[in-house]
Amino acid sequence: MVHAESPVNKLAVLNEISTALMSELELPHLLELILDRVRTAFDVDRCAILHLDANAGRLKMLRAVGYDEVVAHGFEIAVGEGISGWVASTGMPAFVADVRQDPRYVPGVTGAVSEVAVPLKRHGDVVGILDIESTRPLRMQDFDMELLSALAAKCAAALYTASLLQDLTASKYQLEQRVRELQVLNHVGKLLGQVLPLDDVLREILRLAREKLHFRSCAVLLPEADDASVLRIRAAVGYPEATVDRVRIHRGEGITGKVFESGIPRLVDDVTKAAGYIPGIIGGRCEMACPLLSRGRVLGVLDAEGEEPGCFDEGMFVLFSTFASQAAIAIKNAQMLERQQSIYYQTISSLAAALEARDSYTRGHSERVTGLAVRIGERLGLRTGEMATIRQAGLLHDLGKIGIPDGVLNKPAALSHEERGELQHHPAFGTNILGQLAFMRQASRAILHHHERFDGNGYPSGLVGAEIPLVARAFAVADAWDAMTSDRPYRDAMKDDSAVMEIVDNSGHQFDPDVVRAFLHVIGREDLVPE
Ligand SMILES: [Fe+2]
């Protein structure tokens, strides 16, 4: 028969464990330490701590030493079953010198001879079991049982502390999550307050998504203008440009199409295993797709993809859904703003055209100036955005003449100094009218400066050279050419040759030499282009 170690050594073990309990908060380490010391002190083969799952009525292995992997990680037993189950149900410790003689014993690990089980208690209730098994007969004295009970109390305390710590960590995580949520909502709230043009809103949504929610790739998908059943990517971060242009998703197709159809958000841990999956935009594995809902209508879908399966958790999904619902309001506002502005633009365009048509001398002037400025712009190699500005500004460049008295505007003679001063207000008047239209921002600027001179002697700001917007410089030449070659109440149209020479002579003074060169090419007078 094997004798346990001396009582003095065992007291030392208890002391060591008590000290460790005060400093070690990591539960696995602590349990490991307790089991290891118990095994050494009692010279046994196996030692385990089981916790009681009160709801299931089962004891489940929490930590073990000396058992094989399967038992150490998966063993469990019903309360009332076996010796440990008896201890759990009675709350009494048990020492069985020979388990083979005990009817309660349920054969488990082969070769066990003796078993000791003591309950772990909290406020009198059993919360687990400290269990030791030996393949050799054990002799336990009262002192040993008392020591084991003391150790069991330490274990119970450690488990309780650890569970408190776990709760604290969980609350901290929830709190952090809540703070992040509020930050995002705060930012999106500010965005909503501004009522920005749609493109600005979409850019801001993606910037916030990337910055606050840490996505690598995220996209806003909205229906096509001419087919409301097909989604296209209206704005995206983290996707190749070619992909963004190419992607078209039909209602009900794939994960995004289904969210668009149903209006129900989806979190898919691994898209390759999802039913109806269509190979993704960038080969993402984990996907979140949320409908952009406005008054029950699905405006589009906000979609995020991650490369690793399961990389978006439930908390992230809730946050993303909240973000999408806020973003939807911003998008709806922007769309309404766009519609309003488009109506406003159409109204003033019609008004400007009607005013121009009343005067036989200026009829068609704006259209001709626009046509010529467009060709000059093409010759200068302007970008798509600048060409759009020319077209927008062209038809409305003299819109501000609405605010000039007829007596000045239609005077059949040269203007006086004062009258010229009055006429010179028309670029600013026009800009004021158009200033409310966000999408006319660049065009407004071109209109304001279409009477500037390259040498700085123009109006209203006296800008010099490159300070004048290039589109405005192109207008200056086109406008002058059309004015000179048209009849006016007080003079006949100039001959083309004289008008061209006037423009060439003023190159570098009134006009930008580059624009003049482009103009000469456009009207087929390359012969006049200086060497
Ligand atoms: Fe003008």
SS (H, E, C) 402-467: HHCCHHHHCCCCCCCHHHHHHHCCHHHHHHHHHCCCHHHHHHHHHHHCCCCCCCCCCCCCCCCHHH
Average per-residue pLDDT in the chain?
84
Report how far ligand 1's centroid is from the alpha carbon of 339 (Å): 29
State the distance from the centre of ligand 1 to the C-alpha of 493, rounded, in angstroms: 18
User: CA angle 320-324-326, nearest 5°?
Assistant: 120
| Ligand 1 centroid distance, CA of 397 (Å) | 6
Predicted confidence (pLDDT) at residue 4 exceeds the cutoff of 60: no
Q: pLDDT value at position 3? A: 43
Alpha carbon of 450 to ligand 1 centroid (Å): 7
Indicate if 276 and 223 belong to the same structural domain: yes
Choice among 118-127, 223-232, 349-358 with the minimum mean pLDDT: 349-358
Q: Is the dihedral of CA 281, 286, 288, 289 positive or negative?
A: positive
Both 405 and 497 in a single domain?
yes
Q: What is the pLDDT of residue 88?
A: 93
Q: What average pLDDT does range 448-477 have in this prediction? A: 95
Residues with CB under 5 A from ligand 1 (ion): 398
Strand partners, 286: 306
Q: Please name the helix (run of DSSP H) or strand (run of DSSP E) that holds residue 119, with its range, or none.
A: strand 114-122
pLDDT surpassing 60 at residue 205 = yes
Do residues 265 and 142 share a domain? no
Q: What is the Å distance from ligand 1's center to 447 Cα? A: 8
Q: What is the pLDDT of residues 71-82, one digit of tens each?
A: 777 788 999 999
Amino acid at 413: A
- Look up the domain containing 25 and give its range: 7-167
Q: Give 433 Cα–ligand 1 centroid separation in angstroms.
A: 15
- How many domains are contained in the chain? 3
48-57, 255-264, 327-336: which is most confident = 255-264
113 C-alpha vs ligand 1 centroid, how far in Å? 108
Q: How far lies 68's CA from each of 47, 117, 233, in Å?
A: 12, 19, 55
Across the range 287-311, mean pLDDT stands at: 90
**Is residue 358 very low, low, confident or very high in pLDDT (cuts 50, 70, 90)?**
low
pLDDT tens, 264-295?
999 998 888 877 666 655 567 888 999 999 88
Same domain, 151 and 19: yes
Q: How far from chain centre, in Å, is Cα 418?
A: 57
Return the bridge partners of 96, or none.
115
The tokens for 388 are 């759009």
Residues 6+ apart with CB under 8 A from 29: none
The residue with greater pLDDT, 85 or 285, is 85
Cα of 393 vs centre of ligand 1, distance in Å, is 11
Q: Residue 431's closest CA among 455, 416, 447?
A: 447
Cα of 485 to ligand 1 centre, how many Å? Answer: 15
User: Cα(500) to centroid of ligand 1, in Å?
Assistant: 19
- Of 37-51, 91-105, 176-190, 391-405, the range with the lowest mean pLDDT is 176-190
- The rounded Å distance from CA 461 to ligand 1 centre is 14
- Whether 314 has a pLDDT exceeding 80, the answer reads yes
Q: Which two three-digit tokens encode residue 270?
A: 């691994």
pLDDT surpasses 60 at 84: yes
**189 falls within a domain:** no
CATH number reported for the structural domain that contains residue 277 in this entry: 3.30.450.40
Judgement on whether residues 253 and 291 belong to the same structural domain of the protein: yes
pLDDT at 402 over 90: no
Judge if the upstream peptide bond of residue 460 is cis by omega within 30 degrees of 0: yes
CA of 338 from ligand 1 middle (Å) equals 28
In a domain, 448, yes or no: yes
Domain annotation covers residue 135: yes
Percent of the chain with pLDDT over 70: 91
80 located within any domain: yes
> How far, in Å, CA of 352 to CA of 357, rounded?
9
pTM of the model: 0.50
Decide if 475 is inside a domain.
yes
Please report where in the chains the tokens 């336990």 appear, as a residue: 140
* Cα 42 to Cα 136: distance, rounded to the nearest angstrom: 12
Q: Which of 274, 304, 338 is the last residue of a domain?
A: 338
526: tokens are 């390359």
In a domain? residue 55: yes
* 492/305 Cα distance (integer angstroms): 67
Res. 423 pLDDT band, cuts 50 70 90 = very high
**Lowest-confidence range among 121-125, 213-217, 393-397?**
213-217
CATH number of the domain within which 513 lies: 1.10.3210.10
Same-domain check for residues 290 and 383 = no
Geometric angle at alpha carbon 242, from 237 and 248, rounded to 5°: 85
Question: Could you tell me the distance, in angstroms and rounded to a whole number, from the CA of residue 171 to the centre of ligand 1?
Answer: 67
Contact residues for 381 (Cβ-Cβ < 8 A; gap 6+): none
Same domain (yes/no): 135, 211? no
- Positive or negative torsion for Cα 108, 109, 112, 117: negative
* Residue 143 and residue 214 in one domain: no
Which range of 171-175, 378-382, 393-397 scores highest in mean pLDDT? It is 378-382
Evaluate the CA torsion angle 324, 329, 330, 332 in order and state its sign: positive
Per the domain annotation, does 466 fall within a domain? yes
| 330 and 476, same domain (yes or no) | no
| Residue 202 and residue 157 share a domain | no
Q: Does residue 306 lie in a domain region?
A: yes
**Quick one: 56 and 148 in the same domain?**
yes
**Does 156 lie in the same domain as 208?**
no
> 267: CA distance to ligand 1 center in Å?
57
